Amino acid sequence: MAGVKVLEYAQLAAGPYCTKLLADLGAEVIKIEPPQVGDEARRREPFLKDVPHPERSGFFFYLNTNKRGITLNLNTTTGRKIFQELVKESDVLVEDNPPQAMKELSLDYESLKGINPRLIMTSITPFGQDGPYRDYKAYHLNTYHGSGVAKILASILPEETPKPTKGPGFLGDYDCGLNAATAIMGALYSRLFTGTGQHIDISKQESLIALERVEMGMFGNDERGSTVFMQYMVGGLQRCKDGYVLITLGGEHHWQGLINLLGNPDWAQDERYQGELSKYIYAQEINERIAEWMINQTKDEVYHRSQALNCPIGMVTTVEDLVASKQLQARGFFVEVEHPEMGKVKCPTASYRFSKTPLRFVRPAPLLGEHNEEVFGKRLGYTREELSRMRGAGII
């Protein structure tokens, strides 16, 4: 995506993750933050050595590598004027502000397309640009439950397991950012033929619902949905002595592999457990017997032995497990990135490998306002004196 210019006016996870994906593909991304305070992600853990500092957030660091960073106050007349100058030169704008707020600033799509007809503006909000919920505020917790994903997640866990209120961290927002990046790629392709941009309306609620299309479709036709069958799933999440494994059986051959793994116990020959329907009926009873065996095994042992027996069992890995993974080390998934405040930081790379254009970390996450002089001075032509005055007035 070299040559594509992206302007980001977003905070925390969804918008910044969207632009991070574009930046990793070669797009030039300029991140706009409020003067002095910056992106809220700067105040979110984890922090280097557990000491809170706006330039030492691992969360912010991960989401903003390969970007340039500037500060700009859009609540000032001069700030909005500069923003419009940047929009003129941009291919894509990604923002996550309330629809009414952007309109009041005259920075909504209808206003900006007059400045740049080729602009692709992507607006990420909890519930979209229209409908009765359009102006509602929401946290990650709200959109997670507003999509039904939290209920589906809870339905696959054993009854005695404490139910999570949402996915870990900002998982749902990352999914939304991925959807937004995919939509932007489609809009850029469309622009090759039409010559004009368009407005992309991303609803976090709908992005999460899209992940569970099968579940939603089943419920639309059968009010019980598929979660009722999850309660009668043989295997499922099972505790080992050092963590968890997840058992997902897809047929009789998988059942036979599981029984071999368990050492062909006598109870498996019980007539009540023969046949697929019977296994559903007696799933809870079978799972209790599986649990008695699993609790004395390590998850690594179970995983490798089950694979050899053609039985689909996966380990529930921790972050520590993944960082120490020989597979990920061999593929160079983690690389060290030099940061002026944090020093050398181990960072995840990308989920893909291009043979011709491998991923490069051109720059670490920007310090607050690090590229003000480069963007405002060298590109837009503002003098040092003007920048100094704007800094004193809280514009940049």
Q: Alpha helices, DSSP H only, in the chain? A: 14-24, 58-63, 77-88, 99-104, 109-115, 140-146, 149-155, 171-194, 204-211, 213-221, 227-230, 252-261, 276-281, 283-294, 299-308, 319-323, 326-330, 372, 384-392
Residues near 384 by beta carbon (within 8 Å), at least 6 away in sequence:
373, 377
Q: Domain containing 300 — which CATH number? A: 3.30.1540.10
Beta carbons of 120 and 91 less than 8 angstroms apart: yes
Q: How many domains does the chain have?
A: 2
Domain span including residue 271: 228-316
Beta strands at 334-339 and 67-71: parallel, antiparallel or unpaired = unpaired
Q: Domain containing 148 — which CATH number? A: 3.40.50.10540
Residues 38 and 136 in one domain: yes
Query: What residues pair up with 68 in beta bridges, in sequence order?
Result: 30
Distances, alpha carbon 321 to alpha carbons 32, 298, 324, 339, in Å? 35, 13, 5, 25
Beta carbons of 202 and 124 less than 8 angstroms apart: yes
pLDDT (0 to 100) of residue 233 = 80
Residues 233 and 192 in one domain: no
pLDDT (0 to 100) of residue 148 = 78
Q: Name the amino acid, one letter, at 235.
A: G
Last residue of a domain, one of 283, 316, 349: 316
Q: Is residue 221 part of a domain?
A: no
Last residue of a domain, one of 266, 282, 316: 316
As a whole number of angstroms, the distance between CA 204 and CA 180 comes to 10
Q: Is residue 220 part of a domain?
A: no
Last residue of a domain, one of 316, 347, 375: 316
Residues 205 and 81 in one domain: yes
Residues 201 and 339 in one domain: yes
CA dihedral 225, 230, 231, 235 (to 10 degrees): 170
Residues 83 and 146 in one domain: yes
pLDDT (0 to 100) of residue 146 = 85
Q: Is residue 45 part of a domain?
A: yes
Q: pTM of this prediction? A: 0.88
Residues 40 and 181 in one domain: yes
Tens-binned pLDDT, residue by residue, of the chain (396 aa) = 999 999 999 999 999 999 999 999 999 999 999 999 999 999 999 999 999 999 999 999 999 999 999 999 999 999 999 999 999 999 999 999 999 999 999 999 999 999 999 999 999 999 999 999 999 999 988 888 888 777 766 665 666 666 667 778 899 999 999 999 999 999 999 999 999 999 999 999 999 988 876 666 666 666 555 444 455 688 888 999 999 999 988 888 999 999 999 999 999 999 888 887 888 888 889 999 999 999 999 999 999 999 999 999 999 998 899 999 999 999 999 999 999 999 999 999 998 999 999 888 889 999 999 999 999 999 999 999 999 999 999 999
pLDDT (0 to 100) of residue 163 = 65
Residues 346 and 258 in one domain: no
SS3 198: coil
Closest to 106 measured CA to CA, from 85, 72, 81: 81
Residues 109 and 197 in one domain: yes
Q: Is residue 219 part of a domain?
A: no
pLDDT (0 to 100) of residue 229 = 47
Residues near 86 by beta carbon (within 8 Å), at least 6 away in sequence:
7, 30, 32, 375, 380
Q: Is residue 376 part of a domain?
A: yes
Residues 48 and 196 in one domain: yes
